[in-house]
Structure 1
Amino acid sequence: MGDRILQSRSDNTNIKYFGAYKRWECFIKSHGFSALPADSIHISLYLNSLLNKGSSFAVISAAVYAIKWAHNMRGLPDPTTNSFVQNLLEASKRTAKKPVYKKDSDTNLSNIFSQSDDLLVVRDLAMILHSFSGFLRCNELSNLHCCDVKFAEGYFTVVVRKSKTDQYRFGSDIVISKGGTAACPYVMLKRYIHIASINLESDSFLFKPVYRSGSVCRFIHKNKPLSYTGAKEAILKRLSLVSESKNFGLHSLRSGGASIAANNGVNDRCFKRNGRWRSESSKDGYVADSIERRLKVAQNLGI
């Protein structure tokens, strides 16, 4: 029954809460008090100590919700509803909030490697264009299977089995059109599939780690997805050729694709569906309006 209760939240959420709870447990036990059940005043002192260390709102909120989660899992009264705890949580939004810097994005790499048939290079380009055009998060990209891709005339469909915004695993599909430039995701993916001899009926991961030995470049034998670190290193290495790598992050591709689509007037409902956003605020956080669109505000005031 315990395993079933844990399944009320996603695996990633449980891992996050468990880590935050263990940090709370270590803190309070070092002072000789109980972590479970916890006393509200002790939680308040813990949050205050985190704020004194300069912890961000994300760390503070994770601590509060982890303690709440641990008590709920045991059927114990929730000590985080105390006004001291709630006020400290609210205070952390103001005192610990750090400015958010959206990363820039650039996918103008295809011309540089237009003649390359190196598996590693073409895999990286396919990942970049895939993420850019499909507004994909890193974990959505790495968890794609070969059979999740279906080609049609002039476009291909990608099935996203697991997404941050799809807690009940209904799955969603993305359609990506064929383009007319060297940076066409349709052509690049076809090229990658050909070079890697990928079987689209296979349930193997689409983007896997690659090893190089002399002139040989091949997938590793084990069927495992590319890790976050591996994907980050591969993508930043390519993007650094066209701009300073410090201006990029893995979310650059999702944010960059979303911004260009929004500024080119893509239908809002289709735009939101392509990015799998649950709320308007989440969607808007990814879009950097162009100066032309921003100027239209004053231009339409009739002055």
Structure 2
Amino acid sequence: MAKGDSRRVGWQRVTQGESPFGTTSQAPYKTQPYTHWPSPAFKDCSCQQQPLHSTNKKYTASWARWETWASSKIGMVVFPVNPYQLTLYITELATTGPKSIAKSATAAIKWVHSLVGLPSPTDNPMEKTAPQGFKRLHSSAAIRKEPITPNILSKLMDRHGHKNATLADLRVMFVCLVSYAGFLRFNDLSVVKRNDCKITSDHLTIHLPRSKTDQFRQGSEGVISRTFKSTCPVAVTERYFSALNDPPDSSLPVLGG
């Protein structure tokens, strides 16, 4: 295709051989008004690259917000997006609304350009610098939660782990002590079955079918030692399993009783 010829990309006419991010006065893109986004042809060519439905809806709404803003400004090009104009848009969003809107707009604009095979204006250094500067100026100090201490666990044990503790009380202590000793999240324990747990005289072994740190879902095992203290996670696990009354080879979840 010779320079000066044109072709359709998505719903816009693009002049072959021109830079997609020229200045507004020299931009070869003729933004045509349209009422439905994306067009049926655009959906057909991009269906294999669509994100999840909820994300797709979010990106579509973010793109429509950009389209409305750019169409209301003189000299703005709706598509392809000029990185300098995008910087103005993101700066306005970041200073007048929630930070999440500016972040979503950046992701949506990058997504639209990737679907039609054009360079993303979000890769421009200027566009990356503006949100970072705003974040430094308006960020608030992080409020860190206090860590769980052995003293807190002892108080929990006094309240929920006494000799007359119910199944619900023992479940609370099982989750707290095993999670604390094994560095586990609740979601890690929620998928553990009874036959994933093996108790010996000096330790507890738990097979984790999946976890946040197991990116390839290969499964992993955690070993928790017996401490012989009142807050011993292995001893509490024995009491909980006894109250649960499931056989060791049961495939029922340990938190489902």
TM-score computed with the length of structure 2 as normaliser: 0.61
8 Å Cα contact 1:54-1:96 kept in structure 2: no
1:77 equivalent to 2:119? Answer yes
Deviation at residue 86 of structure 1 after TM alignment: 0.6
8 Å Cα contact 1:25-1:35 kept in structure 2: no
8 Å Cα contact 2:50-2:56 kept in structure 1: no
Partner SS, residue 147 of structure 1: helix
8 Å Cα contact 1:155-1:177 kept in structure 2: yes
Q: Which has the larger radius of gyration?
A: 2
8 Å Cα contact 2:62-2:104 kept in structure 1: no
Residue 207 of structure 2 aligns with an amino acid whose one-letter code is V
Partner SS, residue 172 of structure 2: helix
Give the counterpart of 1:190 among 238, 241, 250. 238
Structure 2 counterpart of 1:107: 153
Deviation at residue 146 of structure 1 after TM alignment: 2.6
Structure 1 counterpart of 2:35: none
Structure 1's unaligned 5+ residue stretches are 8-13, 209-218, 220-303
Residue 163 of structure 2 aligns with an amino acid whose one-letter code is Q
1:47 equivalent to 2:90? Answer yes
Structure 1 counterpart of 2:139: 97
Name the CA shift for 1:22/1:3 in 2 (closer, same or farther; >3 Å): closer
Residue by residue over 1:153-207, the C-alpha shift from the partner in whole angstroms, topping out at 9 and shown as x without a partner, is 3111222332223222233221111112221111111111111223443333222
1:159 equivalent to 2:207? Answer yes
Backbone CA RMSD of aligned residues? 3.7
Name the CA shift for 1:92/1:161 in 2 (closer, same or farther; >3 Å): farther
Residue by residue over 1:129-156, the C-alpha shift from the partner in whole angstroms, topping out at 9 and shown as x without a partner, is 1111111123223233333322223111
Partner SS, residue 181 of structure 1: coil
Structure 1 counterpart of 2:66: 28
Of 47-56 and 121-130, deviating more is 47-56
Deviation at residue 70 of structure 1 after TM alignment: 6.2
Deviation at residue 3 of structure 1 after TM alignment: 9.9
Q: Where in structure 1 do 4 or more consecutive aligned residues deviate above 6 Å?
A: 2-7, 32-37
1:118 equivalent to 2:156? Answer no
Distance 1:43 1:143 in 2: 44
Deviation at residue 68 of structure 1 after TM alignment: 3.9
Residue 79 of structure 1 aligns with an amino acid whose one-letter code is P
Partner SS, residue 235 of structure 2: helix
Aligned runs of 1:263-302 on 2, under 5 Å? none
Partner SS, residue 110 of structure 1: helix
Partner SS, residue 189 of structure 2: helix
Structure 2 counterpart of 1:248: none
Q: What is the number of equivalent residue pairs in this alignment? A: 201
Name the CA shift for 1:97/1:22 in 2 (closer, same or farther; >3 Å): farther
Residue by residue over 1:55-114, the C-alpha shift from the partner in whole angstroms, topping out at 9 and shown as x without a partner, is 45x775566456545654665533310223211232244124332222122322112231
Partner SS, residue 52 of structure 1: helix
Give the counterpart of 1:143 among 174, 178, 191. 191
Give the counterpart of 2:217 among 169, 176, 179. 169
8 Å Cα contact 2:63-2:105 kept in structure 1: no
Distance 1:199 1:36 in 2: 63
Distance 2:68 2:248 in 1: 55
Residue 87 of structure 2 aligns with an amino acid whose one-letter code is S
Name the CA shift for 1:145/1:76 in 2 (closer, same or farther; >3 Å): farther
Structure 1 counterpart of 2:254: 206
8 Å Cα contact 2:66-2:105 kept in structure 1: no
Partner SS, residue 157 of structure 1: strand
Partner SS, residue 223 of structure 2: strand
Name the CA shift for 1:75/1:49 in 2 (closer, same or farther; >3 Å): same
Partner SS, residue 107 of structure 1: helix
> Which structure has the higher relative contact order (CA within 8 Å, separation 6+)?
1
Distance 1:121 1:194 in 2: 13
Residue 165 of structure 2 aligns with an amino acid whose one-letter code is D
Distance 2:112 2:255 in 1: 36
